[in-house]
Structure 1
């Protein structure tokens, strides 16, 4: 995610002191800036350590006076995080260590930001669009989908599509476009304009299936900023906001969330060269990255699409790669389930009901 600052980008920089400052300087800084931490940097901007109210109190109890150098109280092994760490990971680190501030430093140990508990726990609203592909027929889920669109199948008491919207809403997304085709009226009847869910929902109605990317050509007006696209049958705990921030930070036309998939060969593998046996491997595990069905796209990626032309997402990514030369993967580790088969639906209900 992008680095979380205080109210203004430059505000946290007021909490910086040089190493030749005194304890009195640190007290004044803590009082003036009011974020309960002071950052001690060398002349090049590298972090030497931090000072908190507790550090000051302990120093005074030891008999140090206000004119003592801060070198005597600075906490030199301060907990820090790199810029690429996401919001939820930073929150977990704060909770585990019972702290409310964590400096953000780059690989050269330069301070580039500051995470504050009161801000990182407040998810800002995002103006970015989120598109949900919900037009498929779900043939592998029959008979469940004979009279119900796949994204409306209930999981733990509510439609899959509602789980996706709820998750994205918690990440600050407020504007959704749902691409519909098969039994799309049932989705519109349930969600309406989104008002009862506290969001705005618009619809793309496909006259015929256009694929996971082709439907994006129907968006009018087209988005002017990066946006998220997800399949309507993917249940996951991914942070859509962190995916979007990762995408923006890397300045690429398209980012695909990927997962590691493991498959164990049920047989012992014989390695041969010609007719000679050169080794054995008993039931090896094969690992590969798979498409998780969640994407972040720059609005310029839509230029690769033709109106009303079928296009799946891998094809769009290939076009972008051939044209721009750089697309990215977002490795995800969060719980994830592609609800494409009857057994997947059963498993989703088991997991969500837990």
Structure 2
């Protein structure tokens, strides 16, 4: 019976511990990302720790104890005891971390996000509008808050034309008139490329013609290959391809850090940069980020937050009911994983026993 009890306790403990560790990893990963966004808003240095392993050593001890007395005998004086089982279980988890830094990680952080990664996310079901708005800073020279890919700029960015074009792209995509697709083209290895496909039946539509004109694309073509280029083209000649300039992973994090709402006291103390409009007013960054993320701040611990972190004496959090921000946060987490890959482990791993 004792062996059976041990087996039962062990199986229940495995289920419980696995769930608890899973939740803890998810919560700490989200907290680290949020913390680094807040750090960037304050012009502080972000730090990334990778969880490299969790091990847990479990110990079972079983035996018999005297239990409680059930009878007393007068002659000779003695007690009759009822023996009972004695089960003891203990678990000692050990967590290992590795700080991410060095040349390889810096290159991953600063390298432009791959167009193939964006296409992978798009074909997996993520919103085209969100992907373009977050990760692309130029479409054929049309800017999307380019200077927000670094520390908070002092002057308001240009983003209106880009946002309007992305909105038109999405509407025409939903209407079935165009889409981003893979196209096979003849090479020695039968490679594929990403193209903006325009349905021939939509060539004559005014909205399609207007979009192509705004993107400076030559009309009447069915496929416009998507390329990455930093080359500035002179003149106004129409293009037969769509040039996409993506943000780097660091640029994406800087861009999203503009969505952090800072306590008024920190603004007055000059701890963050205040972006000004042309008339001297305070620029509303929710317009440039299209409301895709909102990080609120509070003097007290927020009661209903999906992710929260305490920094510089204030709490920063994403409200649990803010589904748009939670979705954006999940998208960024996947982008971080895609862009980071396997970082070279050139530094010692920090291993910590966890007290129970």
Given the two structures, how large is their TM-score scaled by the length of structure 1? 0.22
Q: Determine which structure has greater relative contact order: mean sequence separation of CA pairs < 8 Å that are 6+ residues apart, divided by chain length.
A: 2
Bigger CA radius of gyration: 2
Given the two structures, how large is their TM-score scaled by the length of structure 2? 0.22
